[in-house]
Amino acid sequence: MLEYILGLSPVWLALLATLFTWFVTILGASIVFFFKEVRKGIMDALLGFSAGVMIAASFWSLLSPAIEMAESMHMISWLVVFLGFFGGGLLLFFGDKVYDWYQKRANKADDVRSHKLKRSLMLVFSITLHNIPEGLVIGVAFGSLAYHIEGAGLLAACTLALGIGLQNFPEGSAVSLPLRREGFSRKKAFFFGQLSGAVEPIAAVVGALLVLKIQVLLPFLLAFAAGAMIYVVVEELIPESQTNQKKDLMALFTLIGFSIMMILDVALG
């Protein structure tokens, strides 16, 4: 069975990896059936750990291979990587601006029920929006396997998917639990919570196909994925984990996540 999976094309591997991340989102959303609330410390530790994994992966699994491949293709490596990295961050930056615009509109609503509905939809929209580049990240990582680039191995891609999957668990519950508090039924809250992760498999397939069909885009796309990841880490994961009273412990979880990913990439990649 394992040999069969390893023999699949990068596109199928990317799809399987993001089906896993979607499944973790489903697990997170299903919390609504069992608890009214999940201990904040557990969620913050997961977010801190995932942040460390994603920071390490952004360099060793994405930026470093992007630089190496750009140089091998006789590109201006620093320019290609800069444009890709900054472009990935800008995508989520503008996504946040769209979210803020919707939020301002909702705040102007006079009807309380309408306001709650809009706020709930914005919550789903914001999580879904930043899951798209996460899916692209995984797709690009698996698509690059076809070119046998040093540092962009199967283990690195799988570990990257694991890191993104781990932070999808609190995201799923971060959607379903607030929706439940807003008056949604448990089933509806669960449905919208898991739906936020459904875009990742689609985005992953698109990312993998882009890499396979247009090889010259690979350095740019790898850097683009890294920029998107770093933006998510700086804007959401670390700030959220640091709202915990035990900030130093949450920072330690970030170091642990970074160290594990670094070891896997350097020693085994």
pLDDT at 179: 76
Q: 156 near 57, Cβ under 8 Å?
A: yes
Is the pTM for the entire model greater than 0.75? no
Q: What is the pLDDT of residue 82?
A: 96
pLDDT at 123 over 90: no
Give the model's pLDDT for residue 19.
Answer: 93
Does the structure show a pLDDT above 70 at 181? no
pLDDT of residue 221: 78
Residue of 131, 135, 141, 129 lying closest to 222 (CA atoms): 141
User: What angle is formed at CA 131 by the lines to CA 91 and CA 89, rounded to 5 degrees?
Assistant: 25
Q: Where are the domains of the chain?
A: 9-31+41-268
pLDDT at 150 over 60: no
pLDDT in tens, 186-215: 888 899 888 888 889 998 998 888 888 777
Gyration radius of the chain over CA positions: 19
Residues 21-58: tens digit of each pLDDT: 999 999 988 988 887 666 778 778 877 887 887 788 78
